[in-house]
Amino acid sequence: MHRAGHLQSPTLAYETWGELNPAKDNAVLIFGGLSPSAHAASSEDDMSAGWWEDMIGSGLPIDTDKFFVISVNSLGSCFGSTGPASINPDTGERYRLTFPVLTLEDVADSAFLVVDGLFGISSLHTVVGCSMGGMSGLAFCVRHADAVQRFVSISSAARALPFSIAVRSLQREMIRSDPKWAKGNYDEGDPPTAGQRLARKLGMITYRSAQEWAQRFGRERSTDHARIEDQFVSEFAVESYLENVANKFSGAFDPNCYLYLSHASDLFDLAEHGGSLAAGFKRLKLDQALIIGVETDILFPIEQQRELAEGISSVCSDTHLAELDCIRGHDSFLVDMDAFRPVICKFFESCK
Amino acid sequence: MHRAGHLQSPTLAYETWGELNPAKDNAVLIFGGLSPSAHAASSEDDMSAGWWEDMIGSGLPIDTDKFFVISVNSLGSCFGSTGPASINPDTGERYRLTFPVLTLEDVADSAFLVVDGLFGISSLHTVVGCSMGGMSGLAFCVRHADAVQRFVSISSAARALPFSIAVRSLQREMIRSDPKWAKGNYDEGDPPTAGQRLARKLGMITYRSAQEWAQRFGRERSTDHARIEDQFVSEFAVESYLENVANKFSGAFDPNCYLYLSHASDLFDLAEHGGSLAAGFKRLKLDQALIIGVETDILFPIEQQRELAEGISSVCSDTHLAELDCIRGHDSFLVDMDAFRPVICKFFESCK
């Protein structure tokens, strides 16, 4: 592992779409955010909709008629890749907090093993990363600079700033404060869902924007009266909305995996690769880059998109910054396809 | 009470500075935010620094050589005024959750009893309200329109929008999720401090700004190694800062009082006074108004300051909006005196 420690024969879950061409030069690697699985789009093997269903597919912006698309479930996650919820082969027990400190460099390096070791791809056409995945993607580009030609960063950053660190640290504290977490040794039949629900709600508050909610909910009252347990909860529509979001998520994600991946997001800093941000950017060997950011994003604010674009353009003249005026904040790349589709289409069409 | 219920002979804690003149026309009423006591400034009776020490006093912007300044501890709070932590004279027990639903109209009406009933002031020179206190002040101005000539609103709003409601609702859920809260019947020797700490940290994240923290903390590491309990906490300086803030606050504020005041902030809506915001504004009878907002405030954003100023100016031509470019977000009125002092000085100097 990048910091310390070792994993014995880790597993990495991935999915692919399209065909790798004989020259092996049409591969696109996707790094998703903190919570999704590798299932970015439906396929013959799994017909259920993926988390980027409208972006990846035949005739779609990331066109599987042209590209061989690989999506990996981050190391440390709980959807097939080895993580804190996996069994440690040395002990026969789940890793839980004995899992080594996870970094996004580890996430990148494990994806490299799939790309290079498994598929024998020496150079990816493009690495695409969204949110935390943009930092994983940047880690890939800086550590495996010869293995990638183009980079698309979506609503991400060169490193976390204190507002985002504070939010994520508080989300972790919410889970850790739940007595059911039991210092990581929670009962699998009775996980710390109260803490997870709080963390998910805070997540949603930072994934969306105040402007969207003002338009969408205003001061509308909740119609879901069953939820009104006492005088302090779910009087307003926005409260019921968060309640529904939290109910869907908690239980679906292992709390320890969440802690590790959230912490890895805080730790990532391109400046660790060379001693400064400028030195980190200098290690990139990109032919083309696209940085997309959203003006209402409070978690990965637009200033950080500008910093990324400026830094990458110092070593890659064909760098484009797209500042989108989407209203739905950080999550826009998942929900505002009308804004993202043309920008990503244009990028892939312009590739030499 | 405004919604329903009744309090038997409630107490209201207040402090005053300066002298009420014989005409009783030099009184300034201050409404503070959710957490402070009535102790806005030091006095001979209490030499300790108040929460607005640099703003109220001899020769200061709210000049006690000229004005008789009254500060009230909000009804529902726990610093002398009757609230959920007070003893219900009917039962001899603390009110806890039997306290009636609290509104900022109740906070305003109880302050009116002090102003009118106790001091016999028929018309206040100025009502000044900060944050939640700005909404209490607006409630005062709309319900006791003849009793106030001027209004200064600082980082407040005509009503809460869903982002702020979501944040406060989540803070309340953090306290309610702490098993030690025990549905309001917590053990006084062992209150729900874990939940209160989480709520306070989320508060600070919304009281300050990402820009301030980026400058102040960047990615600095914590030097306070004693705090590092496990791999997930207090690695970064911003985390130690929040830890210190939370440790100072929790225990100092009654959790049930916090729930009631936080909920009252969500409930307030000027539009309830007349059926629409416009109708609410029409009920005001102000000679002069000043609306101050801060561009980096995410809890009471600058758009809401513009809405307030526009609404009040429809009935009061002498309305001025000051948009301050302070970096310290919502809390700027407490910490950025250099920005606030001249604006408030100018207002009081310009009073006819």
pLDDT score, position A249? 76
CB pairs under 8 A between A and B: 155
Given a cut of 80, whether residue A245 has pLDDT beyond it is: yes
Residue A350 falls in the annotated catalytic set: no
DSSP 3-state of A345 = helix
CB A298 within 8 A of CB A168: no
pLDDT score, position A251? 72
Ranges for all domains in chain B classified under CATH 1.10.1740.110: 164-258
Neighbours of B48 (CB within 10 A): 9
C-alpha distance from B250 to closest chain A C-alpha (Å)? 15
Q: How far apart are CA B71 and CA B238, in angstroms?
A: 33
Partners of residue B259 in chain A, C-beta under 8 Å? 232
Longest dimension (CA), chain B: 65
pLDDT digits (tens, 9 = 90+) for B232-241: 766 899 999 9
pLDDT score, position B284? 98
On whether any CB of chain A is under 8 Å from the CB of B182, the answer is no
Within B203-278, strands assigned E span: none
What percent of chain B shows pLDDT beyond 90? Answer: 91
pLDDT score, position B267? 96
Contact A231 B266 (CB under 8 A): no
Q: Output DSSP code: residue B199.
A: H
Within A186-318, strands assigned E span: 288-294
Partners of residue A269 in chain B, C-beta under 8 Å? 219
Contact A230 B263 (CB under 8 A): no
Partners of residue A235 in chain B, C-beta under 8 Å? 266-267
The residue whose two tokens read 């005026």 is A325
Given a cut of 90, whether residue A223 has pLDDT beyond it is: no
Q: For domain A14-161+269-350, say whether CATH 1.10.10.10 is its number.
A: no
Work out the average pLDDT over B130-138.
Answer: 98
Work out the average pLDDT over B293-298.
Answer: 97
Given a cut of 80, whether residue B228 has pLDDT beyond it is: no
Distances (CA, A) of A86 to A39, A82, A92, A99, B62: 19, 6, 10, 9, 63
Work out the average pLDDT over B193-202.
Answer: 96
Which tops the pLDDT comparison, B5 or B66?
B66
> What's the predicted TM-score (pTM) here?
0.96
Nearest to A237 by CA among A256, A249, A225, A219: A219
Given a cut of 60, whether residue A219 has pLDDT beyond it is: yes
Which residue in B37, B110, B131, B153 is the catalytic one?
B131
CATH topology of domain A164-258: Rna Polymerase Sigma Factor; Chain: A (1.10.1740)
CATH topology of domain B14-163+269-349: Rossmann fold (3.40.50)
**Six token digits for residue A237:** 């529509």
Nearest beta carbon to residue A210 from set B202, B230, B301: B301
Nearest to B111 by CA among B76, B78, B155: B76
Contact A232 B176 (CB under 8 A): yes
- How sure is the predictor about B229, in pLDDT bands with cuts at 50, 70 and 90? low
pLDDT digits (tens, 9 = 90+) for A6-58: 998 899 999 999 999 999 999 999 999 999 999 999 999 999 999 999 999 99
Which tops the pLDDT comparison, B251 or B26?
B26
Given a cut of 60, whether residue A227 has pLDDT beyond it is: no
pLDDT score, position A247? 87
Partners of residue A199 in chain B, C-beta under 8 Å? none
* Alpha helices, H only, A86-182: 104-112, 132-143, 162-177
Restricting to B residues 294-323, those with a Cβ less than 8 Å away from any Cβ of A are: 298, 301
pLDDT digits (tens, 9 = 90+) for B239-282: 999 999 998 876 789 999 999 999 999 999 999 999 999 999 99
Ranges for all domains in chain A classified under CATH 3.40.50.1820: 14-161+269-350
**Closest chain B CA to residue A176:** B232
Given a cut of 90, whether residue B293 has pLDDT beyond it is: yes
pLDDT digits (tens, 9 = 90+) for A122-179: 999 999 999 999 999 999 999 999 999 999 999 999 999 999 999 999 999 999 999 9
pLDDT score, position A226? 54
pLDDT digits (tens, 9 = 90+) for A277-319: 999 999 999 999 999 999 999 999 999 999 999 999 999 999 9
Q: Distance between alpha carbon A224 and the CA centroid of its chain, in Å?
A: 32
Which residue in A2, A39, A144, A330 is the catalytic one?
A330
Contact B198 A97 (CB under 8 A): no
Q: How far apart are CA B161 and CA B269, in angstroms?
A: 10
C-alpha torsion A138→A143→A144→A146, nearest 10: 100
pLDDT score, position B125? 98
Residue A43 falls in the annotated catalytic set: no
Query: Which residues are CB-contacts of A286 (< 8 A; sequence separation ≥ 6)?
Result: A141, A148, A149, A150, A151, A312, A315, A316, A319
Ranges for all domains in chain B classified under CATH 3.40.50.1820: 14-163+269-349
On whether any CB of chain B is under 8 Å from the CB of A263, the answer is yes
On whether any CB of chain B is under 8 Å from the CB of A201, the answer is yes
pLDDT score, position B234? 64
Neighbours of A346 (CB within 10 A): 13
Work out the average pLDDT over B194-206.
Answer: 96
Q: In what order do the strands lie in the sheet with A68-72?
A: A14-17, A68-72, A27-31, A126-130, A150-154, A288-294, A319-324
Given a cut of 80, whether residue A250 has pLDDT beyond it is: no
**Six token digits for residue A26:** 């049409």
**Six token digits for residue B135:** 């909404």
